[in-house]
Amino acid sequence: MSCPFLHNQLINATLIKPSVRPDPTVGQQICFYDQIFTWTDKHVPPSKLNQWRKHGDSLIDQFFQEYGEQLQANDDTYEYLEHFLVTNPLNTSCLIKFSEYIRQRPIWFNREQILHGQKFFLKNLPSMLTTIVYHTLVIGYGFQQLNNILIKTNYLLSNDLKESHRRLVETLQMIATAICGDIDQFDETFSDVIRVRLLHGMFSFSSLFCIEQHFHISLSHDEKEAYLHFWRYIGWLIGIDEQYLIYLSSYELAETISQPIFYHFYLPSQTLKHMIHHTLMSSYFHGELPLSFRFHLGISQILQGEQVSQALQIDQPKSDHLHFYTIQFLFQIFRLI
């Protein structure tokens, strides 16, 4: 199967308007792509989700209001912040408040759960990294509002596929640094996470769902809770408000927030389909392993499910037994590792 978009074809960088869906009623069965669930009073309705989108990051907004003009185009904002704190130790500006805040730990911080979450990720490393690239990232392109920042900055969407692949690898490196790092060495382990917040300030549940449903790896309740706790802390570091982070305090709550988000915001457009193929094509041309483009599509297709794959135009004929069984064999190896 060939890509429906030329690998050097420019992406139509038109900002996407938010989707609008009515609030379901309690007891209503939702059948949306491959998801089927019953709406309850614990689900967050679309009208409320739209209100949440208006909340910003007051600490970062204040930082750019006070110091934005001093930054140069290619400055590392995190290094600027650290240098400022060293050279101005008595300053009481928002930078001091921000630095002190991120080095605190929220009252719900549980060291043992964080370590357990890191151990869980490393235990399932091949499956988790595959899930991040071929499931979480790909399905994330279908959320229109999340992609406006990518369209504005051209991040991951450079016409140079090598540049797009480099940025994809940098994202994976940031995750790996946080997962493998020493939680007591803040600057070494979480500095890239803070950079993300400085740059554009429900990733975790999607990965767990994919691992169980598509890799058929059985996860214990403690593993799920520990992994969510780890990403709850990452969310806190990048400035997500506590009223939203509470939904990562348990697997059940994470499920009740992920379902309405998917129902309300997921609406792939032609632009977003192009973005998906662009990312997969960058891995095909510049990845370390000599895999065919059909193989990249096949991994993502299996992890997304039939209906979502069709919506994203990454579906391929089921008669392609060679790629299908090779990928299934690869997943079986992941389960045994």
Instruction: Annotate the chain with three-state secondary structure.
Output: CCCCCCCCCCCCCCCCCCCCCCCCCCCCEEEECCEEEECCCCCCCHHHHHHHCCCCCHHHHHHHHHHHHHCCCCCCHHHHHHHHHHHCCCCCCHHHHHHHHHHCCCCCCCHHHHHHHHHHHHHCHHHHHHHHHHHHHHHHCCEHHHHHHHHHHCCCCCCCHHHHHHHHHHHHHHHHHHHHCCCCCHHHHHHHHHHHHHHHCCHHHHHHHHHHHCCCCCCCHHHHHHHHHHHHHHHHHCCCCHHHHHHHCCHHHHHHHHHHHHHHHECCCHHHHHHHHHHHHHHHHHCCCCCCHHHHHHHHHHHHCHHHHHHHCCCCCCCCHHHHHHHHHHHHHHHHC
At 148 the pLDDT is: 63
pTM of the model: 0.72
* Each residue's pLDDT expressed in tens, for the chain with a length of 337 residues: 445 555 445 445 444 455 567 888 999 998 888 788 899 998 988 888 777 766 666 766 676 666 666 665 556 666 777 777 677 666 666 666 677 777 788 899 999 998 999 899 888 888 988 888 888 888 877 776 666 666 665 655 666 778 777 878 877 887 778 777 888 877 767 766 665 555 443 456 778 888 888 888 888 999 999 988 988 888 877 777 788 888 888 888 888 888 888 888 787 777 777 778 778 888 888 887 788 888 888 888 888 888 888 888 887 666 577 788 888 888 888 877 6
